Structure 1
Amino acid sequence: MIGLFNDCFPPIMDGVSLTTQNYAYWLHKKTQNVCVVTPKSPEAKDEGEYPVYRYSSIPIPMRKPYRLGFPRIDWPFHERINRLSFELVHAHCPFSSGALAMQISRSQKVPIIATFHSKYRADFERAISSKLLVDVLMKRVIRFYEAVDEVWIPQASVEETLREYGYKGKVEVVDNGNDLTVDASVEALRTAERARLGINENELMFLFVGQHIWEKNLSFLLQGLSLIKGQSFKMYFVGSGYASDELKKMAASLGLSDKVCFVGSIIEREKLKGYYAAADLFLFPSLYDNAPLVVREAAALSTPSVLIKGSTSSEIINDSENGFLTENRVEDFASRLTQLCMSPQLVKQVGERAAESIVRPWEDVAEEVYDRYVNLIKRTAK
């Protein structure tokens, strides 16, 4: 059995959750021998073809909808999980699920891989005022990665963050994939979705998809939009998070109520695909994210992204070739958007090149992942 461990899984949606889901789906197609281990969630249905083993959890204050897991005290869960024989475990998070993966790796003497997805220090610093305590927690995180057999990162620029945190070992780059495909033409889907949303022919549509948290630079995004509100556009925010209510209030205070629409979380992938297809530009000014799936998802629907120059997220973007970059100043961001509003042909061409250059199907990624798993299992056996 191959075990995929993460601290969240659908219906809790973020990039790491979606990555774990796609690993499970495609590896199951290939091997029929994969499971997911994750905390319990009240809305979870787990009706997939592969088993999902969940352990006790409670909500995390100020981090809705995330859950804090307690696998050690969940005895019925332990009875189920201890009956499984693992060949390899893959931790996508260093906390409760990662600690459990490490325990299984040691007790069953099987290899463990850990993927470094997130900027954990920023998460700690937002919730904890003591720098000393943050440093202690980060040392624990790094000890976890130092103890595994292989550390994977989703793109090369993420290595810099790991090194800043103090990790000195080897890393392997394993790209993320994309699960959004279009059966007919993107243009046909775009036309239909814009009609559904009431976007007129001369109106631009901007889109953000992700957690509604301040770390993603969303106040910067709203401030930038307030400087161009004379332009004809609609901005859609998809997602949820602790900052959702404050974001709505901020949009109103900046005079953007008639320009900005908050649609909440969208779990249905086909519905989300429609928003990506309808958008002219995907706005993602986050300095917090490492390798966001949403930029690749937008590209799959030929929608180019606007990112901050020098951010980890922007590594896969060449300015005006497969996306757009701007300085981390509100005025520069607003100026770039104004420029792009007047260059629809450039936006269209860059979107098409984004689809060609940064989109890779999850099925292909899973093939590479499985080969890496097999090689590591064989090396460990020797």
Structure 2
Amino acid sequence: MKIAMLTNNYRPFVGGVPISVERQAQELVKLGHQVTVFAPMYESDEKEQNERLQKEIQAEDERSPERVIRYHSQKKKMDNGMVYPGIYPAEIFDVFERERFDYIHVHHPMFVGPWALWLGRKYGIPVIYTYHTRYEDYLHYIPCFRTREESTVVKRKAVEWIQKKVIPAYMRWFCNRCDLVLAPSEGMQQMIKGYGVNTPVAVFPTGLDESFFRKNARRAQEIRETCSRGKRHLLVTVSRLEKEKNYGFLLRGIAELERKMGDDFHVLIIGDGSQKAELKVRASILGIRDKVTFAGNIPNDQVKDYLNAADLFLFASKSETQGIVLAEALAAGTPVVAVHAVGSDDIIRNGENGFLTAEREDEWAEKVIETLQEENLERMKSAAFISAGNYRSSRLAIYEEMLYNQCGFRKGDRLYETEEGRRERSAMALR
């Protein structure tokens, strides 16, 4: 198969969608398919720095098994570092005029999204869309939709109307013009159907390559000795430092944990973002600045070593569609304590590979303490590693291949499999 993947962001930008696109593309290449990823350009304002950046991006693209074609993006960027794709991506159209693709897999409903629908109609190609993001939780990245304490009641009501009415209506329109929608979790599948989407919706989570299941014990021990600050327990979390990740709750939970447990633990926060400075101030106000290390971004291929080094993974985000980092933590044999939310609820089995709690600091802290008890920790570590087996990229690629074929041969059919059916077919395919 020749597959065109269209995305609004890709490496070197660090985020869940670029990681998902890259892993899917590379696993499909391993199965013998030709995958072309159409991704935006990234530029720096400073000339010499930009030259280095372009060389690094080009070198990485040339080393990768998937073909990457860059299209122009706007100079203006969002607060989190994402670029605004160009209004008219001529580079994409030029390739489609020269080549024939069997499927278009688009990963965003805006910018490249409508163009993917247009290309699908023009060339008679099925369009698959992965619903990666709950866009109603990300409006604050667009300045005109950002509300503050001093914002007028009219503006607040307008933004609320857009979140609850306009975005669901647009997503329903977009999804119903695709031939297949992929939901990263069962919770998201139900949410999408609740929007009134009639297009077939199949559950397809982002997978993990085999490296996440291999442990470098020596490196993990080095990290533990360095990052635990001499404390008995090392706890870790990984995500962008942005509003939607609910770090305010996480820091309050850590303060509550210290009150209940004492100071025999240290928390490593991996990731960067626009809220970093504010979160450091919040940690100081809460009196936990010495309990938390803000480590910044870590190369993605090294994150697993930090997860292996930790006793427990902490999570508070309520805006995830799946939460790739949760699967990564489980593959490292690291139990998770998270807040109940779509995505988290689908991967965490309460009391087995972690705990799910209400958004209450005392309950969350109590579950962290319960997990760290010696009689629970080893049992839950083992269960975490076993449960991560369902997210191996090699298995999921076989399922994705099957979904593409279903989309091509049974276009318009509504008989797409459930999560249970996916696991059964994936297991059969590997026998």
TM-score greater than 0.5 by the shorter chain: yes
Residues 182/8 of structure 1: CA separation in 2 closer, same or farther (3 Å cut) = closer
Residues 319/167 of structure 1: CA separation in 2 closer, same or farther (3 Å cut) = same
Q: Quick one: which of 202, 206, 212 aligns to 2:241? A: 212
Query: Relative to total residues, which structure has the larger helix share, 1 or 2?
Result: 2
Residues 118/185 of structure 1: CA separation in 2 closer, same or farther (3 Å cut) = closer
Residues 290/227 of structure 1: CA separation in 2 closer, same or farther (3 Å cut) = same
After superposition, the C-alpha distances for 1:74-97 in whole angstroms (9 at most, x for unaligned) are: 445532443221110111211112
Alignment of 1:285-304 (within 5 A): 285-304=316-335
Q: Does 2:290 match 1:258? A: yes
Alignment of 1:1-382 (within 5 A): 1-42=2-43, 43=53, 44-45=57-58, 46-47=61-62, 48-58=64-74, 62-72=78-88, 74-124=89-139, 127=142, 128=145, 129=155, 130-131=158-159, 132-134=161-163, 135-179=165-209, 181=211, 187-197=217-227, 199-200=229-230, 203-229=232-258, 230-269=262-301, 271-341=302-372, 343-359=373-389, 360-380=391-411
After superposition, the C-alpha distances for 1:292-332 in whole angstroms (9 at most, x for unaligned) are: 11001011110011112354422222212111122211121
- Structure 2 unaligned spans of 5+: 44-52, 146-154, 414-431
**Cα pair 2:78 2:141 within 8 Å, conserved:** no
**Cα pair 2:199 2:412 within 8 Å, conserved:** no
Q: CA deviation at 1:187?
A: 5.0
| Equivalent residues, number | 378
**Cα pair 1:71 1:100 within 8 Å, conserved:** no
Q: Percent identity?
A: 26
Q: Say which SS state the counterpart of residue 223 (structure 2) adopts.
A: helix
Tell me whether 105-114 or 152-161 shows the greater mean CA deviation: 152-161
Residues 380/319 of structure 1: CA separation in 2 closer, same or farther (3 Å cut) = closer
Q: Say which SS state the counterpart of residue 113 (structure 1) adopts.
A: strand
Q: CA deviation at 1:290?
A: 1.6
**Cα pair 1:208 1:238 within 8 Å, conserved:** yes
After superposition, the C-alpha distances for 1:326-382 in whole angstroms (9 at most, x for unaligned) are: 2211121122223334x0341222121111013321111111111221232234599
Letter in 1 for 2:119: I
**Cα pair 1:180 1:273 within 8 Å, conserved:** no
Residues 193/375 of structure 1: CA separation in 2 closer, same or farther (3 Å cut) = same
Q: CA deviation at 1:7?
A: 1.3
Residues 275/313 of structure 1: CA separation in 2 closer, same or farther (3 Å cut) = same
Residues 203/60 of structure 1: CA separation in 2 closer, same or farther (3 Å cut) = farther
Q: Say which SS state the counterpart of residue 358 (structure 1) adopts.
A: helix
CA distance in structure 2 between the partners assigned to 1:203 and 1:168 by the alignment: 52
**Cα pair 1:282 1:306 within 8 Å, conserved:** yes
**Cα pair 1:186 1:302 within 8 Å, conserved:** no
CA distance in structure 2 between the partners assigned to 1:380 and 1:279 by the alignment: 46
Letter in 2 for 1:68: Y
CA distance in structure 2 between the partners assigned to 1:320 and 1:156 by the alignment: 20
- Structure 1 unaligned spans of 5+: none
**TM-score, with structure 1 as normaliser:** 0.91
CA distance in structure 2 between the partners assigned to 1:232 and 1:94 by the alignment: 46
CA distance in structure 2 between the partners assigned to 1:381 and 1:314 by the alignment: 30
CA distance in structure 2 between the partners assigned to 1:304 and 1:257 by the alignment: 24
**Cα pair 1:59 1:65 within 8 Å, conserved:** no
CA distance in structure 2 between the partners assigned to 1:268 and 1:290 by the alignment: 20
Partner of 2:50: none
**Cα pair 2:187 2:342 within 8 Å, conserved:** no
**Cα pair 2:128 2:180 within 8 Å, conserved:** yes
